[in-house]
Amino acid sequence: MNTMIKGNTKLYCVIGNPIEHSISPQIHNSIFEKLENNSIYLPLNIKRENLQESVGVFKNSFKGFNVTIPHKQDIINYLDELDEQASIYGAVNTVKVQDGRLIGYNTDGYGFSKGLEINNIDVKEKSILLLGAGGAARVVAYELINKGASLTIATRDEKKAKNLIKDLENIFGKNSSSYEDINKVKAGYFGIVNATPVGMAPQVDAIPINEDVLKGTEFVFDLIYNPYKTKLIEVGESYGAKGINGMVMLFYQAVRAQEIWKGYTLEDSKTLPIYEEVEKYLKTI
Ligand code: NAP
């Protein structure tokens, strides 16, 4: 980190609780260090009960901030404006401070789609198995249907998957999303996306589906980035699938956040070398 903090240094941060394990500071500061002078990004531990009183500080002192668990929904109460996509997801991960106003965005969908794009995966008219029906699954489902995929949402709680399917129908009209019990799902999908925390450190030997389901699939996109390679990806790769971990999504949601804050476009030719550097770092933790 070479930035000397001065009176006019532009401040950015991520707010959440806990925040110690966030790798967003590494990602954002790496981008700032390479592409932008005089900006810095800090991890701020803000408890749920302190969110409201903290908002004034962000408004006055920061140019923008990211929002993570547990504030992604609550922050909406304090915004002056909400971007359409964030409104559809009902969750905000990026806030821009503009002329004393707070504008909320969600860049997770962009990050996920960029992960598919970088790996040359076209899901149009393909059947995709999505595991989970939480906040991240909602974003992924929206992106996949928007790209013309047909979706099977597999969960342990039927009601949650069916609620998500109903919400998707409200947005897209009738679509081909369907429900499966995560413990009974069978092989036959073009791609599998894991949006459950199953397999995340320290439970690294856990896998959310029966291993046989991975047979014949072209890609396995696990939103988890710690460990770098989950068991799901490991088994998928052993059956010949392309494995993609959550790092690419995390990195490109950050890139999109910076584009929103700064009002410019960051070309792949500039971001890819930084991505490779951050990825190398991540493999060591
Ligand atoms: P969430 O809202 O809590 O949703 C988690 C989903 O996983 C729920 O559907 C939950 O089902 C299901 N689940 C949890 N434990 C399960 C188990 N043992 N077996 C089957 N299903 C289980 O969490 P989220 O925010 O969507 O995050 C999900 C994952 O995505 C996390 O690993 C998170 O780190 C990752 N993520 C990555 C990125 C990225 O940029 N790479 C971004 C966002 C999230 P129940 O409702 O039945 O518990």
pLDDT per residue, tens digit, the chain (285 aa), is 556 889 999 999 999 999 998 999 999 999 999 887 799 999 999 999 999 999 999 999 999 999 999 999 999 999 999 999 999 999 999 999 999 999 999 999 999 999 999 999 999 999 999 999 999 999 999 999 999 999 999 999 999 999 999 999 998 887 779 999 999 999 999 999 999 999 999 999 999 999 999 999 999 999 999 899 999 999 999 999 999 999 999 999 999 999 999 998 999 999 999 999 888 887 777
d(C-alpha 115, C-alpha 55), whole Å: 32
Asked whether the bond before 227 is cis by omega within 30 degrees of 0, the reply is yes
Nearest residue (by CA) to ligand 1, atom 37, is 223
- At 3 the pLDDT is 66
Nearest residue (by CA) to ligand 1, atom 11, is 132
Q: Which of 155, 196, 198 to mutate to test the pocket of ligand 1 (most atoms within 8 A of CB)?
A: 196
Q: Indicate whether residue 249 lines ligand 1 (CB < 6 A).
A: yes
- At 2 the pLDDT is 58
H helix runs in the chain, sequence order: 24-35, 51-61, 84-89, 108-118, 135-146, 158-172, 231-238, 247-262, 268-283
- At 1 the pLDDT is 55
Q: Indicate whether residue 209 lines ligand 1 (CB < 6 A).
A: no
Q: Is the pTM of this model over 0.85?
A: yes
Q: Indicate whether residue 195 lines ligand 1 (CB < 6 A).
A: yes
Q: Indicate whether residue 132 lines ligand 1 (CB < 6 A).
A: yes
Cα–Cα distances in angstroms (integers) from residue 74 to residues 16, 144, 184, in the given order: 11, 26, 35
C-alpha gyration radius of the chain: 19
- At 231 the pLDDT is 98
The Å distance, Cα 194 to ligand 1 centre, comes to: 8
Task: Please enumerate in sequence order all residues whose Cβ is within 8 A of that of 2, keeping only pairs 6 or more positions apart, or say none.
Answer: 33
Give the DSSP per-residue string, 153-175. Answer: EEES-HHHHHHHHHHHHHHHSS-
Strand order in the sheet with 39-45: 39-45, 10-16, 64-67, 94-98, 101-105, 81-82
d(C-alpha 269, C-alpha 61), whole Å: 32
- At 37 the pLDDT is 75
